[in-house]
Structure 1
Amino acid sequence: MNKTPQFEVPLTIQPEHELRFIGPFNRPVVTIMTLTNNAAMTLVFKIKTTAPKRYCVRPNIGKIAPYRSTQVEICLQPFMYDQQEKNKHKFMVQSVLAPQDADLTDLNKLWKELEPDQLMDAKLKCVFEMPAAEANADNNSGSTVNAAGGGGGGGSGGATNPVNLSIVDSLKSEPKSIEEQSSNLSDAAEHVESLAAELKEIRDVNSELRKENLHLKDQITRYRSSPATKQINESYTPVLAEKQIPVFYIAIAIAAAILGLLLGKFLL
């Protein structure tokens, strides 16, 4: 751990140099880091990693009371493990003794206000290990493959071809997950089909109701445009008689005119 000239080293980290993750790695693997504050002041810490997408750290920032300890849970996400691949993942624990007047309710804000030369840091590397039983099984599988290859080809020269049990386990677990996903998809498809059928029925009913509504509106329009019907007990007045009154007066006038002409002729 690096320390600044103005502070003694107040933080103890366990484990001190390495974070070990024990496989198989086809599932999340958790390891615990213990931080101990050896000072008489509150200590604030923050944890960083070179592979943030591969790890989940809880908490990644926090505070430790004087002479107290806290545990940090580091979870490695599932991945395809290869023994031949070199692991370069590292963690860095930064810490600082909190000033007496510091506001410890917002640690992120406090951290941004700190100067880089105030921080103490410690680095740990990550180590991936397989359990002893699985490691022996890997060796046995590799020797079996080598023996089969030497007897069959004759030209392989006993070259090693190790089999990774984590890959085998993941391949075995894949069919189950695929079956579960397929069953979930089939259930979802059936649900969607039932919803589509119900939606179609609702649309048909809506269409029928619209047609009935238009028919009723048409009937109301026709009823309003038609002449008013005769009410019950209303006295009946012939329309023909009303129309015949003017004709009667015209006939009398014509007869009077003809009579006048005839009388005029006889008198003259």
Structure 2
Amino acid sequence: MSKHFDLPLTIDPEHELRFVGPFNRPVVTIMTLRNNSSLPLVFKIKTTAPKRYCVRPNIGKIMPFRTTQVEICLQPFIYDQQEKNKHKFMVQSVLAPVDADLNDLNKLWKELEPEQLMDAKLKCVFEMPSSEANAESTSGGGASGVGSGSAGGGSVGANTSSASAEALENKPQLSGEDKLVVPQMQPPIPADTAEYVESLTGEINSLRETNRELRKEVLQLKDQITRYRSSPAVKQVNEPYAPVLAEKQIPVFYIAIAIAAAIFSLLLGKFFL
């Protein structure tokens, strides 16, 4: 045990992160990190599947001879036993320089050289419990989680220092599909996923109904505008002006000529008579 604590950082569990189903809800596992040195230690956690996990914190510091816990939450998904799981986590750590600013860890991490980092890789294991284990988890799920964590701690103590040193010195060789990315510290999806999805579906349906009503109103307005423009009572913009009084003055003019002709004929008759 004393040889094991000669390493700057110890991880519990050391090699595997176990997630026990059912996986239709968020599943949380705890990773414990311990700083065994007399200097502050800075760590950062990466994963090959950042969209599937939520890690809190994904970067942090550990004061000398202190311990911190990292919460890793697996988001709900459809579990298939035939599907081969290739998810991996990597814990990178470094002893902070004496003059380092520990208030801005992201800036400090960017200034570090890759050769200064110590790496440790863990793989993810998914387990679907039996009917008995499922019944026990509903009555006392918290106790089982603590038990598994303590069992992982015992296995860490049983390993030799040479094997642990090799895991920290040799960086894991990752293929293109195993690219490690720092997961976001986003809140997990609510446990009542079905109710959440149902509420979103109701909102989408109401928005679609509102959209249909607005389309109907737009069509009605277009129809009214078309009928208004095609109506003969409406005067067009370029139509020439034709006064109405001119149409009424034409018969008056003819009446005046007829009266003048009658008067002229009466005068002419009196003159000849």
CA contact (8 A) 2:47 2:88 kept: yes
Measure the CA separation in 2 of the matches of 1:120 and 1:81.
33
Amino acid at match of 1:115: E
The answer to whether the aligner puts 1:94 opposite 2:92 as a matched pair is yes
State, as a whole percentage, how many aligned pairs show the same letter: 73
Which residue of 2 is the match for residue 104 of structure 1? 102
Instruction: Tell me how many residue pairs correspond in the alignment.
Output: 183
Provide closer, same or farther for how the CA distance between residues 77 and 176 of structure 1 changes in structure 2, counting only shifts above 3 A. Answer: closer
Match runs of 1:63-82 below 5 Å:
63-82=61-80
Provide closer, same or farther for how the CA distance between residues 79 and 178 of structure 1 changes in structure 2, counting only shifts above 3 A. Answer: closer
Amino acid at match of 2:96: A
Which residue of 2 is the match for residue 155 of structure 1? none
Provide closer, same or farther for how the CA distance between residues 31 and 179 of structure 1 changes in structure 2, counting only shifts above 3 A. Answer: closer
Measure the CA separation in 1 of the matches of 2:96 and 2:133.
46
Measure the CA separation in 2 of the matches of 1:15 and 1:174.
29
Which residue of 1 is the match for residue 203 of structure 2? 184
Residues 66-110 of structure 1 deviation map (CA, whole Å, 9 limit, x = unaligned): 111111111112222111111111111111110110111221221
Provide closer, same or farther for how the CA distance between residues 125 and 182 of structure 1 changes in structure 2, counting only shifts above 3 A. Answer: closer
CA contact (8 A) 2:17 2:125 kept: yes
Greater relative contact order: 1 or 2 (C-alpha under 8 angstroms, separation 6 or more)? 2
Residues 21-61 of structure 1 deviation map (CA, whole Å, 9 limit, x = unaligned): 11111222211111111111110001111222221211111
Q: 3-state SS of the aligned residue for 2:33?
A: strand
Which residue of 2 is the match for residue 120 of structure 1? 118
Match runs of 1:39-50 below 5 Å:
39-50=37-48
Measure the CA separation in 1 of the matches of 2:213 and 2:56.
44
Measure the CA separation in 2 of the matches of 1:179 and 1:117.
50
Measure the CA separation in 1 of the matches of 2:128 and 2:217.
54
Q: Which TM-score applies when normalising by structure 2?
A: 0.51
After superposition, the CA RMSD in angstroms is 4.2
Question: 1:178: how far off?
Answer: 6.7
Which residue of 2 is the match for residue 58 of structure 1? 56
| Gap runs ≥5 in structure 2 | 1-5, 135-191, 220-273
Match runs of 1:105-254 below 5 Å:
105-133=103-131, 180-189=199-208
Q: Which TM-score applies when normalising by structure 1?
A: 0.52
Q: 3-state SS of the aligned residue for 1:35?
A: strand
CA contact (8 A) 2:34 2:66 kept: yes
Question: 1:193: how far off?
Answer: 7.0
Measure the CA separation in 2 of the matches of 1:43 and 1:55.
24
Which residue of 2 is the match for residue 37 of structure 1? 35
